[in-house]
Amino acid sequence: MESNTNTPNAFKTPRKPEKMKSPGNKLTESCSAPGTPVTIPASPFMKKLGCGTGVNVYLMSRNGKFHSPWAIKKINSKCTTSQKNIYQRRLCNEAKILKDLQHPNVVGFRAFTTSKDGSKCLAMEYGGEQSLNDLIEKRRESGLQAFPVDVVENVALHVARGLKYLHNEKKLLHGDMKSCNVVIKGDFETIKICDVGVSLRLDENMQVSDPKAHYIGTEPWKPKEALEGGVITDKADIFAYGLTLWEMMTLSVPHLEMLDSECDDDDDSFDEDDFDEDAYYECLGTRPALDSDTLGGAYQKMVELFCLCTEEDPRKRPSASDIVQALESNL
């Protein structure tokens, strides 16, 4: 949760950032004195925070008592030339979008530059060392069950606030909502949505405005309309948001929970040949099972929210604004 959503951040996303210079791997620090050069260290000299499709994210410490660390997103050097071109275009798009965003539940823009090898580097607000997915995996590996209900409710509210801001104020579909794209600082002190590189513009009807735009997403979190070439609206994010809550209550990946049940209790290995691929693809875009009896009555509201968000018909799903209003009324 946000410890104090009314407290200004030390470094806010600039509305009109200073023109950035990039001699070598230098850039202008857009959140301090104009013209202050900052050097992005080589990847081996930064702590790796995580990775995504074609990119790695590193922690960059900065000198000075009042200089908060940055998260640096760089293209994976192991990518082929054609892959690098794709991911660099995506990173440029993410930087362009991120510059215009400022919300306590969305990771903020800090700077953009070109490294010595010609690849792009996106400097962002440091939202925390761990993603929600990291915490889910650690909890599962420790033999624990669902996150406490107050934690699930807290994440649900803050992520919904971030989505409301993207949808209503910025007319943006996040396009890849999942636990991997929620970063957590400390003991849920802050909760922020990240990775807006595949976001799509929404029109006044909350539909994707460009008919040629392609919803990318991630397969297990995709709604039916994205899988079948239907009309994409803000409700595509809501479906994936519902599955993110499901992740916190089951500690599993949507539609892949069958992997756990198909493995022998005495053997953690999994034979790929035993995986029912047809059954997996048939389940995509549907609501995965959730044993509410095992969770207990305290989770009833979160189970109901999950069910509403994962309605197959997007018109039956609530908007992010509806979700925020409902959750805030329960505080």
Of 175, 177, 176, 187, residue with least CA distance to 135? 187
The pair of structure tokens assigned to 217 is 């997403």
The answer to whether 32 touches 54, Cβ cutoff 8 Å, is: no
Lookup: tokens for 79: 């990518």
CB-based contact 127:191 (threshold 8 Å): no
Question: Rounded to the nearest 5 degrees, what angle is found at the Cα of 37, between the Cα atoms of 34 and 38?
Answer: 125
Tokens 């409700």, residue located: 235
Structure tokens at 43: 């990847």
- Annotated active-site residue in 117, 150, 176, 267: 176
Q: Assign 56 to helix, strand or coil.
A: strand
SS3 327: helix
Tokens 């908007």 correspond to 319
Is 313 designated active site? no
Torsion of CA 109, 55, 235, 1, to 10 degrees: -50
Known catalytic residues are 176
